[in-house]
Amino acid sequence: MLNEWARKIKSWYKDNENEIVWVAVVLFATGVGFGAGRVAIFNSNKTPIEINPPASNLGANAISSLNSSRDEAAAETENNSITQITDKEPVIMEQSPKIYVASKNGSVFYLPSCGGVRLIKEANKIWFSSKEEASRAGYKPAANCKGL
């Protein structure tokens, strides 16, 4: 019985030798390509991602406008065009973070991580700092958004 199986396998191999060789070549080439890709990953010099906390709660626009107004005041002082300088610094009111979003065309609000937010166009997004603020504006919490 074992001899009969060996004879059938040899006969099948002789009948399909060309196809078997091509399959072996394709598998070998695929393996080489995959291996080369894996080696390339290890040899790449990727810069690690760094997450740095913001320097303060002020927005970038507020800081740049504060710096530019100070620079303008200093330049005018150097030109003697200002005769009296006050000691008061400009006061920037800190705004509470906007953590809820809604569409101006819709009736519900979401957390930014909820799936429905990706369907809202940027131009139509309205931001709220609290659930109460969103409710006062006529919006209700999205039923499919966990955490609301």
Which pLDDT tens digit goes with each residue over 8-41? 988 988 899 899 999 999 999 998 888 887 776 6
DSSP-derived 3-state class of residue 9: helix
Decide: 124 and 104 in contact? Cβ < 8 Å: yes
pTM of the model: 0.38
Which pLDDT tens digit goes with each residue over 39-66? 766 655 666 667 776 655 444 554 555 4
pLDDT on residue 139: 95
How many other C-beta atoms can be found within 10 angstroms of the C-beta atom of residue 110?
26
Query: Per the structure block, which two tokens stand in for 142?
Result: 């999205």
Give the model's confidence band at 84: pLDDT under 50 very low, under 70 low, under 90 confident, else very high: very low
